Structure 1
């Protein structure tokens, strides 16, 4: 029998993006670019670096867990009792890069946060692609 209180869900978005991993990596790790598609932040791609994402509605407290340039980036994502992990995986393809984002750790009682992530991340992905198309 599974214990429903410890069971968690994830939001996963995967997309083939027609840009090299290095360019996507910059958009995922440079604060001035992150601000254009996600939120303001004081992010640094350094393991254990604590940083915040901030928006009109409030802030997200984060800590970098894993950094493998142009390949993997993971950080905690905590706000309003939410403790999740966001993991970005970049895999080169013939047409560009397969970008995978997983936000894991949503508890069953966090329906609103889970729903917010499910509707929010596709919009962030769209903005990210717009930034990539515009930036050198």
Structure 2
């Protein structure tokens, strides 16, 4: 199994970081660049579904929530429109002295190339997150 692991320290409370990943308007505001014209839907409950759409660039991802334990743990499947591969994302939020430690694990890739592409994508997304959290 091929996976990636990214950890970020964020100077914001756990509840605010949780909202960034679970509120559709928040997701649309930071997840992808605004030039993608992103929209998001999220039914944040076990068995609920989400979708993040970038209609300006013709890409979208969706999946199902597997674990929802606010505001600490969010596990969901990840599948790009038009792709057969489904992977698994785990977002763990841990209170830290100066805010929140975010740990992102994305696993079950069928190749190192797919993992590396997602690693770069997640890093780009997470680079935008502090700007939204600060807003």
**Which of the five TM-score ranges fits, normalised by the shorter chain?**
0.7 to 0.9
Q: Which moved more, 1:20-29 or 1:31-40?
A: 31-40
**How much has 1:129 moved relative to structure 2?**
1.0
SS in structure 1 opposite 2:86?
strand
Q: Distance in 1 between matches of 2:96 and 2:50?
A: 31
- Counterpart of 2:11 in structure 1 is 18
Rg (Cα) greater in structure: 1
Contact 1:30 1:44 in 2 (8 A): no
- Counterpart of 1:5 in structure 2 is none
Give the RMSD, CA atoms, in angstroms: 1.3
- Counterpart of 2:34 in structure 1 is none
After superposition, the C-alpha distances for 1:97-134 in whole angstroms (9 at most, x for unaligned) are 110111111012x62x3222111111111111110011
**How much has 1:57 moved relative to structure 2?**
3.0
TM-score where L is the length of structure 1: 0.86
**How much has 1:65 moved relative to structure 2?**
0.6
Contact 2:39 2:52 in 1 (8 A): yes
Q: Distance in 1 between matches of 2:59 and 2:132?
A: 23
**How much has 1:29 moved relative to structure 2?**
0.6
SS in structure 2 opposite 1:26?
helix
SS in structure 1 opposite 2:42?
coil
TM-score where L is the length of structure 2: 0.86
Q: Following superposition of structure 1 onto structure 2, how do residues 115-130 of structure 1 map, counting pairs within 5 Å?
A: 115-130=116-131
Q: Distance in 2 between matches of 1:126 and 1:24?
A: 13
**Moved runs in structure 1, 4+ residues, more than 3 A?**
none
- Counterpart of 2:43 in structure 1 is 44
- Counterpart of 1:86 in structure 2 is 89
Instruction: Work out the number of aligned pairs and report it.
Output: 125
- Counterpart of 1:3 in structure 2 is none
**How much has 1:81 moved relative to structure 2?**
2.0
